[in-house]
């Protein structure tokens, strides 16, 4: 008998941050090809906020509960993993809990030198940045990445990974503090979008080859303006509007590629492929100290509501993590 565990549920199915409440639920059991993880820490991500508000349902077969990334100890092994192994993993859901099951291929070893709290901040952000910046955006050494929201969990990770890959990085943020922090984190150029015209500054700095954008419509024209010929704009969210008005002539002149992706709905096989690539390319950067997950704040699992409120306030630099 599996017994029960504490997990975080959304009271009423959707709602504000305070709708997040600890509940007792059935502990999951690992099926074929899955491992059961006793969770030590779980990352909190923007998609979790969307799901809580009723906008981002879990993919078929995933738990209804929130949580896309965890770190902890293997309780039921499978594939390369045995009982007692420490892992971090990308989940379809269910990470805000004491235990979670996951496809064994979507778990990765804890990089040398990292504790479980920092490791829990890796999967969702690192997979997202790797897929979007390096695969879809095809960023190469010597090119320039423009990353919007440079102090967010995704932004801080993108700065570090692009620098590790030998690229130049221009980061934007709202406010002088965020601009200063982006420079501290390794950006070559940082821009305060409250007071500065990012397109003009990017062009003066030699233009952008890849733009990682979570803003959407309100930045599109300036992104295109700042883009070098043959550049790529990659969308991972649309916080500033979901519908682009595309000046076709300018796209043609720039030979621009406009692309984007989501991570969660990808097939299990595709996530397994991505996990193997991340372990091959990014894990050595982490173990060499070139990429360090930045933790802004940690909250106990029972305080998931406070963690969401903190993320929604938008003052964080780096990741918010729940500890179990």
Residues (pLDDT < 70) of the chain are 1
Q: Rounded to an integer, what distance in angstroms lies between the CA atom of residue 238 and that of residue 112?
A: 35
Q: Is 25 helix (H, G, I), strand (E, B) or coil?
A: strand
Q: In CATH, what is the architecture of 126-260?
A: 3-Layer(aba) Sandwich (3.40)
- The span from the CA of 67 to the CA of 93, in Å, is 5
**Cα separation values, 289 from 163, 166, 200, 276, 293, Å:** 12, 15, 33, 20, 10
96 CA to centre of own chain: 16
Measured CA to CA, the distance from residue 224 to residue 313 in angstroms comes to 29
Note the pLDDT of residue 107: 98
- Fold type of domain 4-122+264-323: Quinone Oxidoreductase; Chain A, domain 1 (3.90.180)
Domain layout of the chain by residue ranges: 4-122+264-323, 126-260
The pTM assigned to this predicted structure is 0.96
DSSP string, 181-248: HHHHTT-SEEEETTTS-HHHHHHHTT-EEEEEESS-HHHHHHHHHHEEEEEEEEES--TT-S-----H
Q: Residue 31 is encoded by which pair of tokens? A: 């099926």
Question: From CA 159, how far away is CA 150, in angstroms rounded?
Answer: 7
Say what angle helices 153-164 and 268-287 make with each other, to 10 degrees: 70
């Amino acid at each position: 008998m599996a017994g029960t565990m504490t997990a975080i549920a959304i009271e009423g199915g959707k709602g504000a941050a305070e709708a997040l409440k600890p509940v007792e639920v059935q502990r999951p059991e690992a099926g074929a090809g899955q491992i059961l993880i006793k969770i030590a820490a779980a990352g909190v991500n923007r998609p979790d906020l969307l799901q809580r508000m009723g906008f981002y349902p879990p993919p078929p077969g995933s738990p209804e509960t929130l949580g896309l990334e965890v770190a902890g100890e293997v309780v039921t092994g499978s594939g390369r993993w045995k009982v007692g192994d420490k892992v971090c993993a990308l989940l379809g859901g269910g990470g805000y809990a004491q235990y979670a099951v996951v496809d064994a291929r979507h778990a990765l070893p804890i990089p040398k030198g990292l504790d479980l709290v920092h490791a829990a901040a890796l999967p969702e952000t690192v997979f997202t940045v790797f897929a979007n910046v390096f695969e879809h955006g095809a960023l190469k050494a010597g090119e320039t990445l423009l990353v919007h929201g440079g102090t967010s969990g995704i932004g801080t990770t993108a700065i570090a990974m692009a620098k590790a890959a030998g690229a130049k990085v221009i980061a934007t943020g709202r406010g002088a503090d965020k601009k200063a922090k982006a420079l501290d984190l390794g950006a070559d150029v940082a821009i305060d979008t409250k007071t500065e015209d990012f397109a003009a500054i990017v062009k003066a700095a030699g233009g952008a080859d890849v733009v990682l954008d979570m803003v959407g419509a309100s930045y599109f024209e300036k992104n295109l303006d700042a883009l070098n010929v043959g550049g790529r704009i990659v969308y991972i969210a649309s916080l500033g509007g979901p519908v682009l008005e595309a000046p076709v002539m300018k796209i043609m002149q720039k030979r621009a590629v406009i692309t984007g992706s989501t991570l969660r709905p990808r097939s299990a096989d595709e996530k397994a492929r991505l996990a193997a690539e991340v372990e091959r390319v990014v894990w050595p950067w982490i173990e060499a100290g070139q990429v360090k997950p930045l933790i802004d704040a940690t909250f106990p699992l029972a305080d998931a509501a406070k963690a969401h409120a903190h993320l929604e306030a938008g003052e964080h630099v780096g990741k918010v993590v729940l500890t179990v």
